[in-house]
A and B are shown apart, each in its own frame.
Chain A
């Protein structure tokens, strides 16, 4: 017995030793080492003489990583994707191929995962590509990769990605905020979309959802907006870009790309044309801006836009509180602006409006922006299906002034309302009027009411 126990002890000790060695062997032979070996062989092929060839092959294996404090991530993708920054690897097989067309977005400054998704910290294929359980963002497919531009470039146009701006426009005009919160503003009938892009939903799911909400998420209260395929794609892009990540100052300064298109938009928004002209087209209060970028240095122009009084004491130009990129964009626009541009801008400018018209227009914008149009329609026609509500759909607001006084309508907007039911025993209708008093100011609500009454006026006029 004692002898046998001793033998068992030694046998178990041997097993333990074997297990430790097995674990060490497992730890010492990760797949990335094989990739690096293959890459070195590929590199050595291009070397002219045996000495440099041997030197290349003798490179010790090591993990490559890009520390991105500004993006709160560490990307180790280049441990295997060794040729991304090496143009001679243009025709190399994956994972060694050169990544062309990156522009300023070089991997050593931006890493990979901010655009591609995946798990930057991982060092084996399955985990790194994020196609494992418990990883939120697997690799984005080629089809949707451009949506990632919107993670940093949250405003203005992104060159080559019109989908983002269009998706954002649709979101703000189709009334999505009526049910969905984004960055703290919006209703709470649907899910908060602030981090939708980081929510592990596949792009395909999102796109199908926009085409027919009920087809992918049974019983969804979301009405079918009858989006076209392109519009569904635009919205999907926009959703994928919503990640609400904290970013360092460099990355957040790139919210809008400081290009001429954004500059033009700002030039219109800030109404520069009210004082300035370009080549004689426009107002004559301030100096003509034709060739202004040749007369002054970039620094001078930037300073002028920050604080006009400092550059020209007594200047009547207001301080506009523009961020760095906005100032850069305006300068970029001015460097190429022609009198024709100004004529175009002037022709697109609406005629002067009365105070009432301005208020009604603002009410109409609020009505779209806060999502009322989501249920009541862009032309107040209503008609979105709402089972078991009276009439089975969301009411049209075209005749609201016949049935209610303005104060009553304001009270309904402020406090919300659950629609009366067709069948009292049935399930409550999925859509209801939420209370807006914590979201909208009284001023906003009054404007919306004015807008509703203005429609009534138009109708009477047509009689």
Chain B
């Protein structure tokens, strides 16, 4: 018995969870959990503050990693074997369809949730000082998510994949000077073929996942270092005069005190740097509002995790991921459509290739990245930033409207056809 207890204690070297010390140690002695603070503000745990969209996105990414690695065991990235492997997954691999469905639906879900997460952060003004840079990382993560989804779209090597990527990469080639070359480097040729499939595969399973994992680590780290979750908007006081100080950054409010170093002592960093920490200072009254991460934060995260997993599984059991005919470069479907999240772009391109395919998306990305630096209004209260909220809402609605039009209202020849009208011979 003693041996078992000894082994257990060698693994878990914390006090019992019934004590406050144990609850804190659970967090900061555990490499996986210590990204959390030991205590969190009660209000920040409220569902209506964050909708847990960041967590959902992260959990979807975990589902994608697991199912993706399993799928790699069955997939050869060259035509036409790639397509045959899809058919094998569908017909002979044990639980193959379930696996592929989970990967597919989680991928679409991740694109949606990343976008919704961005909207939440914008509407709560959480990109403002000191969190500007984490917003920038977030935008990069959005782009990487789109990149992962786009590269994965080609891999089944069916008509849907082939023509979506052909259209998608054509949009990119409208960029002046470099567009054609970028497309050629991406495709490994002038059209979507063997080279493109291999390159997209490498991007999809190695390059982009590595980048997205790296940036996710930075993103999470910055959430902690920028002072944890932002305060819910309903807790904001009308006049927020308290300014925050970044450690090491010169500030106009108060010069940073550096304690004189003694020559006969080794200093820890906390002994050298004084001044106000970056955290929203915890006063005794506020201390009342905090709870231990264990179990309050963890149980909520666990619920969100399981809700995400069950939703994706439920969808995968009943909805099959599409798989069309083998890719055929000689047979263009009419209309050929890009993946749904690029249909807004395709819609713009159909009006003007240069404006819609290059200028608009470039401006959009630049504007998104620049938001925290252009928005000089320090207040996060919705009442103080009405026109910013309207502007962003307008941006979101226009994007969604374009995607809806591109998805449902475009028929053969990119003609405006409502979805309830059947076009005879549309498939010809």
Interface flags, B77-112, vs A, CB<8A=1, else 0: 000100010011011101111100000000000000
Q: Is the Cβ of A134 less than 8 Å from the Cβ of B324?
A: yes
A443 to chain B, nearest CB (A): 32
* Interchain CB contact under 8 A, A9 and B299: yes
Is B84 touching A19 in the complex (CB atoms < 8 A)?
no
A295 to chain B, nearest CB (A): 51
Is the Cβ of B92 less than 8 Å from the Cβ of A23? no
In the complex with contacts A9-B306, A121-B87, A124-B91, A2-B296 CB distance below 8 A: yes
Q: Flag whether B323 is at the interface (Cβ < 8 A).
A: yes
A2 engages B299 (CB within 8 Å): yes
Of B9-17, B66-74, B186-194, B307-315, the segment with at least 4 beta carbons within 8 Å of chain A is B307-315
Choose one: A9, A24, A27; the contact of B302 (CB below 8 Å).
A9
Check if A121 sits within 8 Å of B84, measured CB to CB.
Answer: yes
Question: For the complex, is B317 an interface residue (Cβ under 8 Å from A)?
Answer: yes
A84 to B339, CA, bound (A): 44
Q: Shortest beta-carbon distance, B235 to chain A, in Å?
A: 19
Residues of B within 8 A of A6 (CB): 295, 299
Question: Which chain A residues (1-60) contact chain B, with CB distance < 8 Å?
Answer: 2, 5-6, 8-9, 12-13, 15-16, 19-20, 22-24, 26-28
Q: How far is the CA of A9 from the CA of B299 in the complex (A)?
A: 8
Cβ contact within 8 Å between A15 and B296 = no
- Whether B323 contacts A134 by the Cβ 8 Å rule is yes
A122 at the interface (CB under 8 A from B): yes
User: How distant is the Cα of A444 from the Cα of B158 in the complex, in angstroms?
Assistant: 43
Minimum CB–CB distance for B403 against chain A, Å: 24
Question: Is B346 positioned at the interface, with any CB of A under 8 Å from its CB?
Answer: no
Expressed in whole angstroms, the minimum distance between the Cβ of B288 and any Cβ of chain A is 17
Question: Are A23 and B91 in contact, CB atoms less than 8 angstroms apart?
Answer: no
Is A136 interfacial (CB 8 A cutoff)? yes
Do B300 and A12 have beta carbons less than 8 Å apart?
A: no
Nearest CB in chain A: distance from B103 CB, A: 14
Chain A residues with CB under 8 Å of B295's CB are 2, 6
Q: How far is the CA of A134 from the CA of B90 in the complex (A)?
A: 14
- With A22-B317, A23-B98 already in contact, the answer to whether A12 and B303 are too (CB < 8 A) is yes
- Residue B92 contacts which of A2, A12, A63 (CB distance < 8 angstroms)? A63
Instruction: Tell whether A127 is near chain B: CB-to-CB under 8 Å.
Output: yes
Which of A8, A20, A23, A123 is the most central at the interface, judged by chain B CB atoms within 10 Å of its CB? A23
* Contact A9 B313, CB 8 Å, known A24-B95, A123-B91: no
CB of B325 closer than 8 Å to a CB of A = yes
Contact status of A5 and B95, CB under 8 A, knowing A20-B313, A135-B325:
no
Instruction: Return chain A residues, CB-CB under 8 Å to B306.
Output: 9, 12-13, 15-16
Q: How far is the CA of A23 from the CA of B96 in the complex (A)?
A: 10
- Residues on the B chain within 8 Å of A9, using CB: 299, 302-303, 306
Say if the beta carbon of A266 comes within 8 Å of chain B: no
Q: Residue on A with the closest CB to B424?
A: A218
Cα distance A26–B98 when bound, in Å? Answer: 10
Q: List A contacts of B313 (CB < 8 A).
A: 16, 19-20, 23
For A127, give the chain B residue with the smallest CB separation: B91
| A8–B303 CB distance below 8 A | yes
Is there a chain B Cβ closer than 8 Å to A74's Cβ? yes
* A16-B92 contact given A6-B299, A9-B302, CB 8 Å threshold: no
B316 at interface by CB-CB < 8 Å: yes
Indicate the member of A6, A12, A76 with the most B CB atoms within 10 Å.
A12
**Alpha-carbon distance A204/B126, docked complex (angstroms):** 65
8 Å CB contact of A27 from B84, B98, B314, B325: B98
A74–B323 CA distance with the chains assembled, in angstroms: 18
State whether A134 and B325 are in contact (beta carbons under 8 Å apart), knowing that A23-B313, A23-B317 are contacts in the complex.
yes
Chain A residues with CB below 8 A from B303, complex form: 5, 8-9, 12
In the complex, what residue of chain A is closest to B299 when comparing beta carbons?
A5
* Contact across chains for B87 and A122 when beta carbons are under 8 A apart: yes
User: Smallest Cβ distance from A5 to chain B, in angstroms?
Assistant: 5
Residues of the B chain whose Cβ atoms lie less than 8 Å from the Cβ of A119: 87
Q: Kindly provide the distance from the CB of A68 to the nearest chain B CB, expressed in whole angstroms.
A: 12
Nearest CB to that of A8 among chain B residues?
Answer: B303
B296 touches A74 (CB 8 A): no
CB distance from A244 to the nearest CB of B (A): 10
**Cα separation A119 to B325 with both chains bound (whole Å):** 11
Residue among B98, B159, B314 facing the most chain A CB atoms (10 A cut-off)? B98
Residues of A within 8 A of B325 (CB): 134-136
Residues A19 and B95 in contact, CB atoms below 8 Å apart: no
Is A23 touching B323 in the complex (CB atoms < 8 A)?
Answer: no
Tell me the minimal C-beta distance from B319 to chain A in angstroms: 13
A19 and B296 contact, Cβ closer than 8 Å, known pairs A27-B98, A121-B87, A122-B87: no
Query: In the complex, which residue of chain A has the Cβ closest to the Cβ of B296?
Result: A2
Residue of B nearest to A135 (CB): B325
Evaluate contact between B299 and A16: CB separation under 8 angstroms. no
Report how far A246 CA is from B164 CA in the complex, Å.
Answer: 26
The residues of B that contact A74 with a CB separation of less than 8 Å are 84
B309: A residues at CB distance < 8 A: 12, 16
Interface residues, chain B, with chain A CB atoms under 8 Å away: 80, 84, 87-88, 90-92, 94-98, 158-159, 295-296, 299-300, 302-303, 306-307, 309-310, 313-314, 316-317, 323-325
7 contacts between A and B (CB under 8 A): A5-B299, A16-B309, A16-B313, A19-B317, A27-B97, A121-B91, A134-B325
Q: A5-B299, A9-B299 are in contact. List 10 more A-B contacts (CB 8 A).
A: A2-B299, A9-B306, A16-B306, A16-B309, A24-B95, A26-B98, A119-B87, A121-B87, A121-B91, A122-B87
Among all A-B residue pairs, the 10 with the closest Cβ atoms: A12-B306, A19-B313, A121-B87, A23-B98, A134-B324, A27-B95, A123-B91, A5-B299, A16-B310, A15-B310
Contact surface of A with B, Cβ cutoff 8 Å: 2, 5-6, 8-9, 12-13, 15-16, 19-20, 22-24, 26-28, 63, 72, 74, 76, 119, 121-124, 127, 134-136
